[in-house]
Amino acid sequence: AQSVTQLDSQVPVFEEAPVELRCNYSSSVSVYLFWYVQYPNQGLQLLLKYLSGSTLVKGINGFEAEFNKSQTSFHLRKPSVHISDTAEYFCAVSVSPGNTGKLIFGQGTTLQVKP
Amino acid sequence: ETGVTQSPTHLIKTRGQQVTLRCSSQSGHNTVSWYQQALGQGPQFIFQYYREEENGRGNFPPRFSGLQFPNYSSELNVNALELDDSALYLCASSSAGAVGYGYTFGSGTRLTVV
Q: Which tens digits make up the pLDDT trace of B56-80?
A: 899 999 999 999 999 889 999 999 9
In B, residues 47-66, which contact A (CB 8 Å cutoff)?
A: 48, 50, 55-56, 58
Cα-Cα end-to-end distance for chain B: 37
Q: What does the buried/exposed string (b/e) look like for A58-89 if buried means 16 or more CB atoms within 10 Å of the residue's CB?
A: ebeeebbbbbeeeeebbbbebeebeeebbbbb
Per-residue pLDDT, B77: 98
Per-residue pLDDT, A79: 97
From the list B42, B58, B99, the residue facing A98 with the nearest CB is B99
* Higher per-residue confidence, B2 vs A114: A114
Q: Does B108 touch chain A (CB under 8 A)?
A: yes
Q: Where are the beta strands (DSSP E) in A15-108?
A: 19-21, 23-26, 32-38, 44-50, 56-58, 64-68, 73-78, 87-94, 104-105
Residues of A in contact with B55 (CB under 8 A): 100
- Does pLDDT of A7 surpass 80? yes
Per-residue pLDDT, A53: 86
Residues of A in contact with B102 (CB under 8 A): 34, 46, 49, 99
Per-residue pLDDT, A11: 97
Contact A42 B107 (CB under 8 A): yes
Which portions of chain B are predicted below pLDDT 70? 1, 96-101
Length of chain A: 115
- Does pLDDT of A97 surpass 80? no
Per-residue confidence at A40, pLDDT binned at 50, 70, 90? confident
Per-residue pLDDT, B3: 87
Per-residue pLDDT, B56: 86
Per-residue pLDDT, B55: 85
Mean pLDDT over residues A49-66, rounded? 92
Per-residue confidence at A25, pLDDT binned at 50, 70, 90? very high
Contact A100 B48 (CB under 8 A): yes
Per-residue confidence at A76, pLDDT binned at 50, 70, 90? very high
Per-residue pLDDT, A8: 95
Give the CA-trace dihedral at A58, A64, A69, A70, to 10 degrees. Answer: 140
Q: What distance in Å separates the CA atoms of residue B102 and residue B96, rounded to the nearest whole number?
A: 10
